[in-house]
């Protein structure tokens, strides 16, 4: 076995349906005046979290947006000062957790993350801030949420399409961890298990978004994806998505979904062991990039009812005909 370094990151994880019930107790371990963060769309979930905190919640701040624009971070930091908050609860996806990290970086306040997507940011010390169209990222131990509450019931409302792409985002962390330059056997174990859990659960979620068992398995896979993203360095796939997303303001999870099978094919010949593990985890030995493509295709296929099966090439021809205005 090759020598390796494994750096564990300190975080306390509470996992399970109904885990949000323990929020007040978890806040109490870290502070007594919590500002609850969320996006405008998830305000009702954040309000429910604040209600559970009673007078330990000093407010709900619902301005989180993708890629943490610097003005949003500054406004949130001012709100923290104005209300005298001593910790934050970030209820939402990577955008909301990212806003919490921007506050933690400035003030050193602890963040209790309550993830509702599969992005995995809650398990990493990686922060991002966007200023004048440029996204800067870095690693700082103070950005790592000390406590993470994974409650799968909060993910039941994540629409099937976003569930699938967000899940592929988590799989991308796992795939790149398997050939990371600083990879190690522990991270690889977690990565393979993460791919297995997500590969099994995502198609079930697209079929039945309220399947709590599948939701639990996907969130477990997402946790593992976040853990390896925080533990080892990523490679070409993440670089491409970061560059494309930043340059063209593309949606994060969708970009990962589209690029991943092709990045895997690009690296396949130089990372045979990693690819064998990806393929094994997806139950399709021999063709990891193809298996990733099939999973993305299956998971993102819209179940919209239609008399004729919706076929890729035929729909492309339909759109071309419509674009040119030809008589059908």
Binding residues for ligand NAD, rule: CB under 6 A, are 39, 41-42, 66-67, 92-96, 98, 116-117, 119-121, 124, 126, 128, 154-155, 157-158, 162, 166, 229, 252-253
Q: In the numeric block, which tokens belong to residue 110?
A: 């602890």
Q: In the numeric block, which tokens belong to residue 134?
A: 């440029």
Taking a C-beta distance cutoff of 8 angstroms, is the pair 34, 58 a contact? yes
Alpha carbons 150 and 131: distance in angstroms, whole number: 31
* In the complex, minimum distance from the CB of residue 123 to ligand NAD, in angstroms, rounded to a whole number: 8
* In the complex, minimum distance from the CB of residue 222 to ligand NAD, in angstroms, rounded to a whole number: 9
- The CA–CA distances, whole Å, from 109 to 59, 63, 115, 279 equal 15, 18, 18, 41
Which residue's Cβ has the minimum distance to ligand NAD?
94
Class of residue 244 by CB neighbours under 10 A (exposed 0-12, middle 13-18, buried 19+): middle
The number of CA neighbours under 13 Å toward the Cβ of 159 is 8
Q: Which is nearer to ligand NAD, 20 or 279 (CB)?
A: 20
- The CA–CA distances, whole Å, from 198 to 70, 157, 301 equal 33, 17, 16
* In the complex, minimum distance from the CB of residue 140 to ligand NAD, in angstroms, rounded to a whole number: 11
* In the complex, minimum distance from the CB of residue 65 to ligand NAD, in angstroms, rounded to a whole number: 7
Alpha carbons 186 and 136: distance in angstroms, whole number: 29
Q: Which is nearer to ligand NAD, 64 or 279 (CB)?
A: 64
Q: Which is nearer to ligand NAD, 30 or 91 (CB)?
A: 91
Q: Which is nearer to ligand NAD, 155 or 267 (CB)?
A: 155
Q: Which is nearer to ligand NAD, 56 or 125 (CB)?
A: 125
Q: In the numeric block, which tokens belong to residue 301?
A: 């296929």
Alpha carbons 103 and 80: distance in angstroms, whole number: 8
Taking a C-beta distance cutoff of 8 angstroms, is the pair 150, 204 a contact? no
Q: Which is nearer to ligand NAD, 14 or 38 (CB)?
A: 38
* In the complex, minimum distance from the CB of residue 72 to ligand NAD, in angstroms, rounded to a whole number: 11
* In the complex, minimum distance from the CB of residue 316 to ligand NAD, in angstroms, rounded to a whole number: 27
Alpha carbons 163 and 298: distance in angstroms, whole number: 12
DSSP 8-state class, residue 84: T
* In the complex, minimum distance from the CB of residue 125 to ligand NAD, in angstroms, rounded to a whole number: 8
Which residue in 292, 78, 97, 113 sits closest to 195, CA to CA? 292
Q: Which is nearer to ligand NAD, 117 or 201 (CB)?
A: 117
């Amino acid at each position: 076995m090759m020598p390796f370094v494994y750096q564990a990151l300190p975080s306390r994880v509470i996992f399970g349906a109904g885990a949000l019930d323990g929020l007040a107790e978890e806040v109490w371990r870290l502070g007594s005046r919590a500002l609850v963060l969320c996006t405008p769309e998830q305000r009702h979930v954040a309000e429910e979290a604040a209600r559970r905190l009673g007078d330990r919640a000093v407010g709900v701040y619902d301005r989180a947006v993708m890629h943490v624009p610097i003005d949003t971070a500054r406004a949130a930091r001012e709100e923290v000062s104005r209300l005298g908050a001593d910790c934050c609860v970030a209820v939402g996806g990577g955008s909301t957790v990212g806003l919490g990290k921007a506050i933690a970086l400035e003030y050193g306040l602890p963040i209790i993350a309550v993830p509702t997507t599969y992005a995995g940011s809650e398990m990493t010390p990686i922060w991002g801030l966007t200023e004048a169209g440029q996204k800067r990222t870095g690693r700082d131990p103070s950005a790592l949420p000390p406590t993470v509450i994974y409650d799968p019931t909060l993910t039941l409302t994540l629409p099937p399409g976003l569930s699938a792409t967000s899940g592929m985002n988590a799989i991308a962390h796992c795939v790149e961890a398997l050939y990371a330059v600083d990879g190690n056997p522990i991270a690889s174990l977690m990565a393979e298990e993460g791919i297995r859990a997500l590969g099994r659960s995502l198609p079930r979620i697209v079929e039945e978004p309220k399947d709590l068992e599948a939701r639990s398995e996907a969130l477990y896979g997402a946790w593992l994806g976040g853990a390896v993203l925080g533990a080892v360095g990523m490679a070409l796939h993440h670089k491409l998505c970061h560059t494309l997303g930043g340059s063209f303001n593309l949606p994060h999870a969708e970009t990962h979904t589209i690029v991943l099978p092709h990045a895997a094919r690009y690296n396949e010949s130089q990372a045979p062991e990693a690819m064998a593990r990806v393929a094994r985890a997806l139950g399709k030995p021999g063709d990891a990039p193809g298996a990733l493509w099939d999973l993305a295709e299956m998971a993102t296929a819209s179940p919209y009812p239609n008399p004729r099966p919706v076929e890729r090439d035929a729909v492309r021809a339909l759109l071309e005909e419509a674009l040119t205005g030809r008589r059908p």
